[in-house]
Amino acid sequence: MSSQGLKCLHSKGKLPDLKSVEVDFCESCVLGKQKRVSFKKTGRVPAKEKLELVHTDVWGPASVSSTGGKQYFVTFIDDHSRKVWVYFLKHKSEVFDAFKRWKARVENETGLKIKKLHSDNGGEYEDSEFKRFCYLSRIKLSRTVPGTPQQNGIAERMNRTLTERARSMRLHSGLPKQFWAEAVNTAAYLINRGPSKPLDLAIPEEIWTGKEVKLSHLKVFGCVSYVHIGDHARNKLDAKSVKCTLVGYGEDEFGYKLWDDQNRKMIRSRDVVFNEKVMYKDRNTQVSEPEEPEYFGPNDVSENRVLEPVNQNDEEQGVPLQVTDPIPYRDVQATQAESAVRRSTRTPIPNRKYLQYMLLTDAGEPECYDEAYQGKDASKWELAMKDEMKSLISNQTWELAKLPEGKKALQNKWVFRIKDEHDGSKRYKARLVVKGFQQIEGIDYSEIFSPVVKLTTIRLVLSIVAAKGLYLEQLDVKTAFLHGDLEEEIYMQQPEGFAEDGKEELVCRLTKSLYGLKQAPRQWYKKFDGFMQGNGYLRCNADHCCYFKKVKSSFIILLLYVDDMLVAGADLEEINNLKKQLSSEFEMKDLGAVKQILGMRISRNEQEGTLKLSQAEYVRKVLQRFSMGDAKSVRTPLASHFRLSKEQSPKTEEEKDFMAKVPYASAIGSLMYAMTCTRPDISHAVGVVSRYMSNPGKLHWEAVKWILRYLRGTTERCLTFRRDELKLEGYVDSDFAGEVDHRRSTTGYVFTMASTAISWMSQLQKIVTISTTEAEYVAVTESSKELIWLQGLLAELGFDQVMNVLHSDSQSAIHLAKNSAFHSRTKHIDLRYHFIRSLIEEGVLKLVKIAGSKNPADMLTKPVTTEKLELCAASVGLQE
């Protein structure tokens, strides 16, 4: 058939079966600017016009939420032009909304209507509203046969291409995983402007718009850039630019999308200078190392090459922006040569977030075995891995064996950390970790719970140490989890890089527990607990990680937190004997006199008889992380003008997008760790802002920043234990209906030993009380439970407490606790809250009135004035 004959048929809307022929089309052919279409190569007949056939599919969920909180993305592909649009979603249920937005957009651009939508059988496409909308819009829905994803191959292939390209771009730049959406969106932007193999190397964007594509504005993803700061946004002596990282291009407006790592925000700008030789991972170095370019081949620029999904802040990532910097059109080979990928030899610096009780650590560690051997510290990491293997072999952790039929060998990986020692040096540490998530309950493990010492117990023992002038030593167990004996039969693959020559086909039959196994902490604790009790130590019933032993006329207390130990005693010789006993059973590291524990610094002054527990360094790291290191300080943790409620949660899409970029949960986790360790003065404020974790608003975020500003001015504040009488006292208070949403009251209590706080709490009550008296009465009962626990622990340590005083500023609550005759007024109160009456009758505690102006528990229930806050802090030993 001639080209002219085909043209006539084509112009009449007919198209013969040309799957087995190869023909030339004339310039006026509706297939666009293609000079040649090889049906032998493509095996398909492209759609005759735009939007005649649209392919769609959903990818996700991602292992890490994007910077905008997204977990999925959906793609829409025009079959005619092969142009792809990407929209990012928090939930699959948002696909319908994304489709409606995309439909309105493309139909407005082209003036054409979508005729057919091809998808798989995902539930998001089976939604009744989705079907009804397509029916009313005259859109034919076409779905694959169940279990045959290949029938949706175009969309599936595109999702794979996007994810693979995004993965490569992100790893090359060293950006953290939460930037996966930015990388995916950039990959889609480049695919639309690159040669497409199904279109015989035509460019999708040109076919879609009918205009020549400009490529001069393209830069290397993840490279360092310098964004100009206008005169209106800076002072005369301020810097004229800010150092950022390129993470994408504009969509509907001009400009580049850049990440300001210092201020943790996205910036859009056109006034940018790029340094494409320096990536995000190398941003702290002034000169990049020599790099060997690697060029894309013909297959790499086609749709058959893909990247892994990347993150994005904007809710809608549609057609990326078209920048109008003019440059002459270049052929494919020239474009490929100019877009050569540079691979740095530097080790990527991961950006890790810990959401709960976050201990911030320095970055700079490799993420896998290959990175460790390719980095500049390869020799140090190799030495660390050999040291770990030496410990594993000497401990006889496994034996090589053939994998039994029906058994599965668990995988493992190397984990690398750089530890900061108390003397300022750095220690390179490598751990072989089993991928415990592959274990199956009932087969590979059963019970997994393992206790750790309570922070309250640590503070209580520190108060005893200060009051009695005891020695306090610290020990660390090397490879603690390797000492546990396994009760299950578990197999593991040989460690990467250390497979035994000639026995590569064998696997490791574990005889001892290993890091990463779900039961490893429990097995280690059982082994240690058996050793301690076998050597005459008593395990405290109040805290199973606290051990006590009377030695001659003295005693020894040992506290265990996983593999860290604190040993307190009056006789240094007996402490050394304990160290020898432990070293004979476990591989120990003697750290001498204690310097820090769990990120808390411990400093002693023998002359003044004081012991200070501080988190100043941790607080500074938190402030630096959230760009509050130079913020203006305030004098209270929560100002009285903050009346937070659920009504202040985001209501508009704009507010939701703004809050999606805010690290609210991460900030709360950081503050909570400081609060539970050494800072009772922020307990009430942290408790208030943590109520809105699920849906925080701008005012909630302002309150969090206010707390950070308070810490900025009180960084050096710490708990100071003194040489004083070991007397346990408690202070309790309650507000009345202080919570705006449900009108519940807040219980606050603090217990001191030798006038320094050892236990505190600020918590919403579980019931709605109907009077101030009732709220105070409930608070007294709740605090009495903690008092009984502390008395029990002290008794086990040999410091019996008799008739401890619990101070309350509510006279009516005290009368109610002492007098059961008020039945008519109190019969609605739950019986469990009358527990305090039996304690008073039995003489376990004494409930005493204290003036409200002198009650330190006030700071745990409500915002207080600066003067009152200082008084409360001083009353519980919290000082600079």
Final residue in a domain of this structure, among 341, 364, 379: 341
Q: In the predicted model, is pLDDT for residue 312 greater than 80?
A: no
Pick the range with the lowest mean pLDDT from 32-41, 363-372, 484-493. 32-41
Q: Is residue 12 assigned to a domain? A: yes
Provide mean pLDDT across the span 247-273. Answer: 84
Q: Which of 788, 793, 787, 758 is nearest to 541 (CA)?
A: 793
How confident is the model over 821-855, as pLDDT tens digits? 555 555 556 555 566 777 777 777 788 888 988 89
Query: What does the pLDDT average to over 74-87?
Result: 93
CA distance 866 to 636: 6
How much is the average pLDDT of 107-118?
90
pLDDT, mean of residues 407-433: 85
Q: How many domains does the chain have?
A: 5
**Residues 94, 141: Cα–Cα separation, whole Å:** 18
Selected residue with higher pLDDT from 362 and 782: 782
**Domain extent for 389:** 347-577
By mean pLDDT, which of 72-76, 236-240, 643-647, 671-675 is the weakest? 236-240
Mean pLDDT of 349-366: 44
Residue 349: per-residue pLDDT: 41
In a domain, 606, yes or no: no
Q: Which two tokens stand for residue 228?
A: 């100009």
Question: What is the mean pLDDT of the segment spanning 204-216?
Answer: 88
pLDDT of res. 687: 92
Which of 7-16, 275-284, 797-806 has the least mean pLDDT? 7-16
The helix (run of H) or strand (run of E) holding residue 226 is: strand 223-228
* Residues 364-369: contacts with CB under 8 Å, at least 24 apart: 364/418, 365/416, 365/417, 365/418, 366/416, 367/416, 368/413, 368/414, 369/413, 369/414, 369/496, 369/497
Domain shared by 259 and 396, yes or no: no
Res 590 pLDDT > 50: yes
pLDDT for residue 292 is more than 70: no
Examine the domain organization and report whether 57 and 99 are in the same domain.
yes
Residue 688 has a pLDDT of 92
Percent of the chain with pLDDT over 90: 35
Residue at a domain's end among 703, 718, 733 = 718
Say if residue 527 is in the same domain as residue 675: no
Query: Is pLDDT larger for residue 440 or for residue 707?
Result: 707
**pLDDT confidence of residue 422:** 65
Please name the amino acid found at residue 542.
Answer: A
Helix (H, G, I), strand (E, B) or coil at 157: helix
Tens digits of per-residue pLDDT, 426-466? Answer: 888 898 999 988 888 888 888 888 889 999 999 999 999 99
User: Model's pTM, two decimal places?
Assistant: 0.59
Q: Of 123-137, 295-309, 434-448, 472-486, where does mean pLDDT reach its minimum?
A: 295-309
CB distance 155 to 76 below 8 Å: no
Residue 835 vs residues 729, 760, 766, 770: alpha-carbon distances, Å: 19, 20, 16, 19
**Is there a single domain that holds both residue 535 and residue 632?**
no
In a domain, 310, yes or no: yes
Domain boundary among 297, 314, 341: 341
54 part of a folded domain = yes
Q: Lowest mean pLDDT of 311-325, 436-450, 804-818, 849-863, name the range.
A: 311-325
Tens digits of residue pLDDT in 503-550: 888 999 998 888 889 888 888 899 898 999 998 999 999 999 999 998
No. of H helices and E strands in the chain?
A: 23, 36
In this model, does residue 363 exceed pLDDT 60?
no
| Burial annotation 413-448 (CB, 10 A radius, 16+ → b, else e) | ebbbebeeeeeeeeebbbbbbbebeebeeeebbeee
Q: Using pLDDT thresholds of 50, 70 and 90, give the confidence band for residue 752.
A: very high
Instruction: Decide if 184 contacts 311 (C-beta within 8 A).
Output: yes
Task: Tell whether 671 and 705 lie within a shared domain.
Answer: yes
Q: Greatest CA span in the chain, whole angstroms?
A: 111
pLDDT at 443: 81
pLDDT band at 16 (very low <50, low <70, confident <90, very high): very low
With a cut of 50, say whether residue 777 has pLDDT above it: yes
Asked whether the predicted pLDDT for residue 40 surpasses 90, the reply is no
pLDDT of res. 64: 86
The CATH number linked to 852 is 3.30.420.10
Which whole-number Å values give the CA distances from 820 to 372, 585, 811, in the listed order?
A: 70, 57, 15
Q: What is the pLDDT of residue 283?
A: 77
Q: Are residues 566 and 631 in the same domain?
A: no
pLDDT > 70 fraction of the chain, expressed in percent and rounded = 83
Ramachandran category for residue 60: left, alpha or beta (phi over 0 → left; psi -120 to 50 → alpha) = left
Evaluate whether 683 touches 662 at the Cβ level (below 8 Å): no
Q: Which two tokens stand for residue 856?
A: 């330190």
Residue 690: inside a domain, yes or no? yes
704/851 same-domain check: no
pLDDT of 271 strictly over 80:
yes
Q: Give the model's pLDDT for residue 620.
A: 93
Interval 680-707 mean pLDDT = 92
| Domain co-membership, 15 together with 50 | no
* 315: confidence class by pLDDT, cuts 50, 70, 90: very low
Question: Which secondary-structure segment (H or E) carries 405?
Answer: none
- 37 and 94 in a single domain? The answer is no
pLDDT computed for residue 221 by the predictor = 94
In the structure encoding, which two tokens stand for residue 206, read together? 């040109």
Least confident interval from 94-103, 142-151, 459-468: 142-151
> What tens digit of pLDDT does each residue of 171-193 get?
999 999 999 999 999 999 999 99
Is position 471 within any domain? yes
DSSP string, 558-571: EEEETTEEEEEES-
Any bridge partners for residue 400, and if so which?
508
Question: Long-range pairs for 550-559 at CB < 8 Å and ≥24 separation?
Answer: 550/798, 555/797, 555/798, 557/461, 557/464, 557/797, 558/532, 559/453, 559/457, 559/458, 559/461
Q: How far apart are CA 66 and CA 41, in angstroms?
A: 38
> Is residue 609 situated within a structural domain?
no
Q: Do residues 752 and 868 both lie within one domain? A: yes
Q: 277 or 35: whose pLDDT is higher?
A: 277
In a domain, 336, yes or no: yes
User: Is residue 385 domain-shared with residue 523, that is, in the same domain?
Assistant: yes
Co-location of 242 and 104 in the same domain: yes
pLDDT for res 263: 83
Asked whether the predicted pLDDT for residue 318 surpasses 80, the reply is: no
